[in-house]
Amino acid sequence: MVRAIACHAIGRGFESLHSRHIQFLARKELLIKVMYYKKILIFIYKKISSLYVFIFGRKQMQFFNDFILSLSLDGKGFKNYGNFDRTGEKNFIKLIKKDLNFCIDIGANTGKYTNLLLSETNAKVYSFEPLPAAFRELEKLKLKFSERLDIFNTAIGLEDTISDLFYGDEKSEKASLIENLEELSFIGKQNKNKISINVKKLDFYENLFQTKIIDFIKIDTEGFEYEVLCGAQKTIKNHRPKFIQIEFNWHQLIKNQTLYNFSKILKGYEVFRLLPYGSKLLHVDPSRPENNIYHLSNYVFIRSDISEKYK
């Protein structure tokens, strides 16, 4: 009896080993096929690339390369400005709305993004905007969503201080805490006015967040995004927001900041780029040069434990 049981167990062991061996061989065969087709694609690409460079790698053909490059950048989510349908932000909020109960809008301006959050979700929103005339528009929005919106007439930054805000018209979306942005063609000499404002770290408001769980932080501060995140490290550590959206633009170029820099202070997050009219997000590697392009783009850092379903 014992011998029969032992033989049976040994037999089952051999069957299991044989099954695993077959699975291993199948995976190995699949890997070989993948590598084979990859080599073919690389070979084809190199041939096409050589022909393309031979024809279009001449000075008189650069207008064509510029044209193709510009179209490619548009399609990949760079130079991504316009209404929320065009930028993909409306679809993005619809995609994540079930995960949103409490959101923070930093650099709310007149409240367009705040209104998007309030209209497309059931979340409560805290909005921060330092420019007085723009803040008055937020006050009007507060009347409409009195139970779900709290507004703060202050800027969010690296430290608690008083600073100058540079702006053009009184509701300017290009107002910035950065001086001398004349090098940026879309600003030029517009930001000729300045006003002294209060700047607070997001961590300054930690007591307000104690009874809440922050799900989403949106940051659009015209080049001050990195400083905002540095001043929010305690808040991010304590709340671990599911989503953090930042704007990435020419400002980061003149400040020597890269997407890779941002990823280093947001450890535990995967990086995605919003695509124009897109209903899905593009997962990107922040260390790759092609993802550090200084044309207007919107990046979303998604907490690693929930990021897989968005890839």
pLDDT tens digit sequence for 219-255: 999 999 999 999 999 999 999 999 999 999 999 999 9
Whether the pLDDT of residue 199 is over 60: the answer is yes
What's the whole-number mean pLDDT along residues 184-192?
80
Residues whose CB falls within 8 Å of the CB of residue 218, separated by 6 or more in sequence, listed in order = 103, 104, 105, 106, 113, 117, 244, 245
φ/ψ of 291, rounded to 5, equals -100, 5
Residues whose CB falls within 8 Å of the CB of residue 250, separated by 6 or more in sequence, listed in order = 184, 186, 294, 295, 296
Q: What ranges do the domains of the chain cover?
A: 82-310
Strands 193-200 and 161-167: antiparallel
Number of H helices, E strands in the chain: 11, 11
- Give the helix/strand (H/E) hosting 272: strand 269-274
Q: Tokens at residue 80, please?
A: 């991504």
Q: What is the pLDDT of residues 122-153, one digit of tens each?
A: 999 999 999 999 999 999 999 999 999 999 99
- Alpha helices by DSSP H, listed for the chain, are 2-56, 62-75, 84-87, 89-96, 112-120, 132-144, 206-209, 225-230, 233-239, 250-254, 259-265
Residue 244's SS3 state is: strand
The CATH architecture of the domain made up of 82-310 is 3-Layer(aba) Sandwich (3.40)
Residue with tokens 């953090």: 244
Spatial separation of the C-alpha atoms in residues 46 and 233, rounded to whole Å: 45
Spatial separation of the C-alpha atoms in residues 12 and 17, rounded to whole Å: 9
Spatial separation of the C-alpha atoms in residues 1 and 6, rounded to whole Å: 9
Q: What is the pLDDT of residues 275-297, one digit of tens each?
A: 999 889 999 999 999 999 999 99
Residue with tokens 């170029």: 253
User: Which of 270 and 30 is assigned the larger pLDDT?
Assistant: 270
Spatial separation of the C-alpha atoms in residues 232 and 251, rounded to whole Å: 20
Comparing CA positions, the residue from 265, 177, 182, 267 lying closest to residue 221 is 177
Q: What is the pLDDT of residues 68-109, one digit of tens each?
A: 999 999 999 999 999 999 999 999 999 999 999 999 999 999
Burial degree of 222 (CB within 10 A; 0-12, 13-18, 19+): buried
- Give the helix/strand (H/E) hosting 163: strand 161-167
pLDDT range class, residue 25, cuts 50, 70, 90: low
Phi-psi region of 238 (alpha: psi -120 to 50; beta: other; left: phi over 0): alpha
